[in-house]
Amino acid sequence: MMTSSTPASGTGPAALTYALRVAGAALIILVLFPLYRRLPVTDADLVLRSVITSADLARTMLLYGSLIVVLVALVLSRLLDADKIEEWCALAARRLTAIPFTRFAWGLALLSAAITAVFSHFVLAGKPTLIDAMAQMLHARFVAAGHLSGPADRFTEFWQIQNSLVTPNGWVSQYPPGHVVLLALGFLLRVPVLVGPTLVGVTVLFTAFSAQRLLRDDPVVARLGTIMLALSPFLIGLAGAYMNHVTAAAATAVAVYCALRSEDDERFRWPLLTGAALGFAFTVRPLGAIVAGFIVLAIWIVVRGERRKDIAGWVRLCVGATIGALPFIVAIGAYNSHFFGNPLRFGYVAAQGPLVGLGFHSDPFGHYYGLAEALAYTSSDLVSLSLYLLETPLPAVLLVGLFLMLRRKFSTGEQLIALWALVPVVANVFYWHHGIFMGPRMLNEAAPAWALLTAIVAVGLVRLIPRRQFGNYSPRAMLTISFALAWAAGVFYLAPSRLKSYGGAWMESSRIEPPHTATPSLIFVHGAWSGRIAMRLIANGLRLDSLEIGNRQNPTCEFQQFANWYAAKKNGRMTPRPEADFDPASRSRPATMVIAEDDKIRVNPGQQLSRDCLREVVSDTAGIIDISPFLWQTDLPELTGDGTMIVRDMGPEANSQLIAHYPRRTPMFFYRPPGGDKAPKLVSYDEGLKRLWP
């Protein structure tokens, strides 16, 4: 590591120093002790299983990776001259800081954007891989065409997908619209694949600007941390997959920089831009924006120092930030009011119910989330972040914890960067959803701070060790070599391998090319029976929390009858209500039965399925295809187009009504034929009916 520069003296508040030491101890405990293994795996859903599996795998890789790196570093430190290592580090530091800053910052931003674009195009085929991004891409198609929403009518079930909902004013994704608007802009410019890379570039650029100010006495560390961020597979991966976390990261990076500028440049533009960045972040990820607001407030409190009592200065900052944020706050309030009936009611709540909010309570799926669960999930997040952030064999978060405990004094910039990294972790303790996708994605917008903090820690730990030798062995040289080897392994092998692993067989179904026809067509795609039921219910207004519980508590055949009744009731046809269990506390659950790959239903032991239900089972036996990855790429309802329109196969009777609604389109089927060849096949509608619905 580069060690020529000396760290700034401790200038921040003493209370904050002690708080960071406590935080360091907490990080060590949460990483060293696998608290996540205490989560109830016997009744785990897919998200919980992925959390535990990811953390265990990361823990194992970090353990063996650390042993290998330390052993190699021990050998090399005895073979190499310690003074030479110091000279090499000093030379590297001088060359790095000799690069003009503007050229360094913009060059690194463009490099990171280019890597993201290459990854997105060549590894992910330019397509989103998670339903979150697919729903927002679909919504963006409507926005790009001049519609705030998609149509909501009796045919919505044919293209309804998860994480979206039907409102009195149309179909929308459940997410705030900020990221959707950026994706729509990408569609308008015909380059949606460049949205993620552009946001990565913005994040890296403004992180470089902020690091230069926060670590102005330690430019080597500032630049090293920015390089780490630019090459972080954690940031690149989610950006290349169109996820909205990188939009929040970019907005937060802009807000932090503008907040810093507002302290040494008293022009009104800087608090105005700070508020605008926070306001835009609120239209993307509200919790992330609130966290960013705390970070901005901390910057203003700490950096202002003795000027904290300057009332006029505070008024200028607050008024400017309020004016900057106001247009975005008004816009999101109007959006929420239009679609969800209340300016303060977000799509998450409308789609999943009130239990989607922060706090310790049962989540929308009926699992209790208390303090013990929060610590267990946070332990998993931090273990996974230790690996995914930079893909180095050494655990980044554990090293951060050690540094925070051992460092006697912190500079103001170091304290603020630590807060930037740690506050999102604390905030997510109170949020029940800790999904793992290309890493602990709820912490992705904090990646800039964690990259900077990792650089501070690596150089800082080396500096803590005196330049002493025991014979021909130098502990300082050994640690320097360990960090250099670990980062080199991450940059040149482990990080590229991680990004490459997101292609190939990993989530391969998300990259299936949709069929295209030269003439207008209506192509039915055959998905899972349980999916057909779920989308019929969501399209007719059932909330996701009720859907998840009902799907888990009831045999699929009986739940199909409930879905038919629910849709009929929505359309004004009154029939007796079938029995259905929606009690989240019930433990009497039907067993699962596998029909085909990734296709399960629930049945009671010894249950005899009706003729109609057997027909649904038979239709799935050859295999299923999810339509979610296709929809944003083809013609959509109410949008002009003379090519392929993809819709869900809902069965012959329902399909016939949709075919009559689109008389100019030729109906066809896209399905997996029986036999060893699992590649989807486009066939005529009559042949598809014969194969799937005999």
Question: How much of the chain, in percent, has pLDDT values that exceed 70?
Answer: 96
The closest of 432, 442, 424 to 374, measured between CA atoms, is: 432
Question: What does DSSP say about strands 361-362 and 666-671: parallel, antiparallel, or unpaired?
Answer: unpaired
Q: What mean pLDDT comes out for the span 292-301?
A: 94
DSSP string for 538-600: HHTT--HHHHHHHHHHS-HHHHHHHHHHHHHHHTT---PPPP----TT----PEEEEEETTEE
In DSSP terms, 600 is beta-bridged to: 594
The closest of 638, 536, 539, 641 to 150, measured between CA atoms, is: 638
Distance separating alpha carbons of residues 412 and 8, to the nearest angstrom: 8
Tokens (6 digits) for 27:
């990080």
* Per-residue model confidence (pLDDT) at position 557: 92
Whether residue 164 contacts residue 542, with contact meaning beta carbons closer than 8 Å, is answered with no
State which H helix or E strand residue 219 sits in. Answer: helix 219-230
User: In this structure, what DSSP letter does residue 160 have?
Assistant: -
654: confidence class by pLDDT, cuts 50, 70, 90: very high
523-550: b (≥16 Cβ within 10 Å) or e: bbbbbbbbbbbbbbbbbbebbbbbbbbb
Q: What mean pLDDT comes out for the span 483-488?
A: 95
Distance separating alpha carbons of residues 621 and 596, to the nearest angstrom: 5
Residue 139 has pLDDT above 90, yes or no: yes
| Overall residue count recorded for the chain in this entry | 694
Worst-scoring range by mean pLDDT, 232-241, 384-393, 543-552? 543-552
Between residues 484 and 623, the one the model is more confident about: 484
The closest of 509, 569, 456, 625 to 3, measured between CA atoms, is: 456
Distance separating alpha carbons of residues 192 and 194, to the nearest angstrom: 5
445: confidence class by pLDDT, cuts 50, 70, 90: very high
Q: What mean pLDDT comes out for the span 540-560?
A: 90
Whether residue 181 contacts residue 366, with contact meaning beta carbons closer than 8 Å, is answered with no
Contacts of 246 (CB under 8 A, 6+ apart): 196, 199, 200, 203, 235, 238, 239, 444, 445
Contacts of 252 (CB under 8 A, 6+ apart): 277, 281, 288, 291, 292, 295, 445, 448
Task: Tell me how far CA of residue 325 lies from CA of 282, 300, 317, 399, 444, in angstroms.
Answer: 9, 17, 12, 37, 23
User: In this structure, what DSSP letter does residue 473 have?
Assistant: B
Tokens (6 digits) for 28:
């060590």
- Per-residue three-class SS string for 487-542: HHHHHHHHHHHHHHHCCCCCCHHHHCCCCCCCCCEEEEECCCHHHHHHHHHHHCCC
4: confidence class by pLDDT, cuts 50, 70, 90: very low
Q: Where are the beta strands (DSSP E) in 228-282?
A: none
12: confidence class by pLDDT, cuts 50, 70, 90: low
pLDDT digits (tens, 9 = 90+) for 59-114: 999 999 999 999 999 999 888 888 899 999 999 999 999 999 999 999 999 999 99
Distance separating alpha carbons of residues 379 and 371, to the nearest angstrom: 12
Distance separating alpha carbons of residues 500 and 507, to the nearest angstrom: 13
Task: Find tokens 């029986």 and name the residue.
Answer: 674
34-51: b (≥16 Cβ within 10 Å) or e: bbbeebeeeeeeeebeeb
User: In this structure, what DSSP letter does residue 644 have?
Assistant: E
Tokens (6 digits) for 685:
């509608």
* Per-residue model confidence (pLDDT) at position 505: 87
Q: Where are the domains of the chain?
A: 14-123+174-501, 510-692
SS3 call for 624: coil
Q: What mean pLDDT comes out for the span 338-365?
A: 92
Task: Tell me how far CA of residue 82 lies from CA of 171, 457, 474, 505, in angstroms.
Answer: 65, 21, 6, 46
Task: Find tokens 């930030």 and name the residue.
Answer: 321
* Per-residue model confidence (pLDDT) at position 1: 41
Worst-scoring range by mean pLDDT, 1-5, 201-205, 225-229, 643-647? 1-5
Distance separating alpha carbons of residues 590 and 559, to the nearest angstrom: 12
Residue 291 has pLDDT above 60, yes or no: yes
Helices 101-118 and 195-214, packing angle to 10 deg: 150
- Phi then psi for residue 511, to 5 deg, are -110, 10
Q: What mean pLDDT comes out for the span 203-225?
A: 96
6: confidence class by pLDDT, cuts 50, 70, 90: very low
Mean pLDDT rounded to a whole number for the chain: 91
Q: What mean pLDDT comes out for the span 117-130?
A: 96
